[in-house]
Amino acid sequence: MAEIYVPERNWAGTYTYQAQKLHRPRTVEQVQQIVAKAASVHVLGSRHSFNDIADSSELISLEDLPADVLVEHEAQTVSFSGGMTYGNLIKTLNDEEVALHTLASLPHISVAGAVATAAHGSGVTCGNLATAVAGLEMVTSSGEILKASRGEPDFDGLVVGLGALGVVTRITLDVQPAYEMKQQVFEGLSWKALSDHFDEITSCGYSVSIFTRWGQTNDQVWVKSRIDEPDRVEGNLFGAIAATVDRHLIVGLDPTLCTPQLGRPGLWSHRLPHFRMGYTPSSGQEIQSEYLIPRRHALVAIETLRALADKIRPLLQVSEIRRVAADRLWMSMNYEEDCVGIHFTWKREPDAVQEMQRQSLRSTNAIPTLSVCWSGSTRAARFATHGSRPACLATRKEGPQAACEEWFDEKRHFFCLFPCLHARSRSRLSEQRMGE
């Protein structure tokens, strides 16, 4: 088992891990030994988080564990090791002619990391990626193995664990028969059309994403439709015109990095992500942040952000507006509430983004209504230290809100509209404040 010090950086190069050791176990037994001995340890996934959520004094990479992918057609599940990426998993799923219900914008990320942070794609009927989890096997802080399946008590509290509950060594996901999709891009959607027809637009395909730079109109609407479902768009989309050539979601970048458009049919795995495997997703030179907002507050949030457009736009590459269906996973941002994700891909200018945030805070009275309930941030990640019982296990009987309060109280007053340096942070509008 290799144990080396590597000063790893995250994918975007915006964060340097402080860990002193990176373990590369080849067996689950080795994982157990490492965790039992370590004073403080986290798993390093595919390093796509923009903050320090994966950091600790020691890190474990599960990339050297055997993938051991097993598709069970009768049970409609696939199980595999905790180090797998979606990109690698998809190869087996396609060979076996089965599919997942959703994917994030890119297939490069690890399944366990995406699940731990409730990563999501888009779709009014699509829960986040963690909702596909039917079973987990994890090594807890004492080095013991815990197995849990959907339906068992507390399972819903384990799935979205922010990497704090243990090392997930094996995951079982729901699968369904493979399906084909096509995607079409519509350009120039007006803000009025979006506001008047928000639900119709966001449900005009199986998966819909709106890309905007908060200008006069929205740049693009990407509509991903299943071939086995009737078409929901005929001609234009509430005044937005169908593109006649492939587009990159960041205007001006090379569209060949993106999945095929123009209604060309293809496998689910080649249409659900925006970015193709094997190419650099997004722009690479960026920081990102995202807010998950209950659907009922989405239009207010969009208006609030439009009022800040002049401040946002100079530092922004693109924003994406998506839908995520409600779930029952305690730490999920979509817990019992259909949500709208408002995502920002910023230029890699953290100081300027932070300064813009400070100025926006001073210049707008909108901020108090955008208080933070959730943020996948450092404090939660610290609870995976060896020997200390994760806070959510201690408080889980009181439900997710109690766990949330305890974990995030420290951060609640710290994060604000643009948590630029904690760019993976996500938030929900505080209902209490919205009610004021």
Site string for ligand FAD, 270-309 (x = CB under 6 A): -----------xx---------------------------
What is the distance between the alpha carbons of residues 246 and 251, in angstroms, rounded to a whole number? 11
Q: What is the residue-wise DSSP string for 278-326?
A: TS--S-SSEEEEEEEEEGGGHHHHHHHHHHTHHHHGGGEEEEEEEEE--
Contact pick of 41, 62, 233, 312 for ligand FAD (by CB under 6 A): 62
The nearer residue to ligand FAD, 1 or 241, going by C-beta atoms, is 1
Which two three-digit tokens encode residue 6? 């590597």
Which two three-digit tokens encode residue 61? 């990479």
For residue 430, the minimal CB distance to ligand FAD (Å) is 21
Contact pick of 93, 114, 126, 417 for ligand FAD (by CB under 6 A): 114
For residue 94, the minimal CB distance to ligand FAD (Å) is 20
For residue 361, the minimal CB distance to ligand FAD (Å) is 25
Contact pick of 105, 140, 304, 357 for ligand FAD (by CB under 6 A): 105
Contact pick of 99, 168, 189, 321 for ligand FAD (by CB under 6 A): 168
The nearer residue to ligand FAD, 39 or 241, going by C-beta atoms, is 39
CB-side exposure of 181: number of CA atoms within 13 Å? 28
What is the distance between the alpha carbons of residues 409 and 403, in angstroms, rounded to a whole number? 10
What is the distance between the alpha carbons of residues 23 and 60, in angstroms, rounded to a whole number? 5
C-alpha to C-alpha distances, 271 to 108, 208, 233, nearest whole angstrom: 14, 12, 17
Residue carrying structure tokens 């209950």: 294
User: Judged by CB under 6 A, which stretch of 116-124, 199-207, 231-239, 310-318 contacts ligand FAD?
Assistant: 116-124
Q: Considering just the CA atoms, what is the radius of gyration of the chain in Å?
A: 21
Site string for ligand FAD, 229-248 (x = CB under 6 A): --------------------
Instruction: State yes or no: residue 113 binds ligand FAD (CB under 6 A).
Output: yes
Instruction: State yes or no: residue 400 binds ligand FAD (CB under 6 A).
Output: no
Q: Which amino acid is at 107?
A: P
Contact pick of 163, 205, 294, 419 for ligand FAD (by CB under 6 A): 163
Which two three-digit tokens encode residue 243? 């593109």
For residue 384, the minimal CB distance to ligand FAD (Å) is 7
Q: Are 413 and 373 in contact (CB under 8 A)?
A: no
Contact pick of 47, 224, 247, 311 for ligand FAD (by CB under 6 A): 47
Q: Please report, as residue ranges, which positions from 308 to 347 form the binding site for ligand FAD (by CB under 6 A).
A: none
290: closest CA among 8, 13, 47, 48?
Answer: 48
What are the φ/ψ torsions at residue 378 (nearest 5 degrees)? -65, -35
Question: Which residues are at the interface with ligand FAD (CB under 6 A)?
Answer: 11-12, 42-49, 53-54, 62, 82, 104-106, 109-110, 112-114, 116-117, 119-120, 162-163, 167-168, 281-282, 381, 424
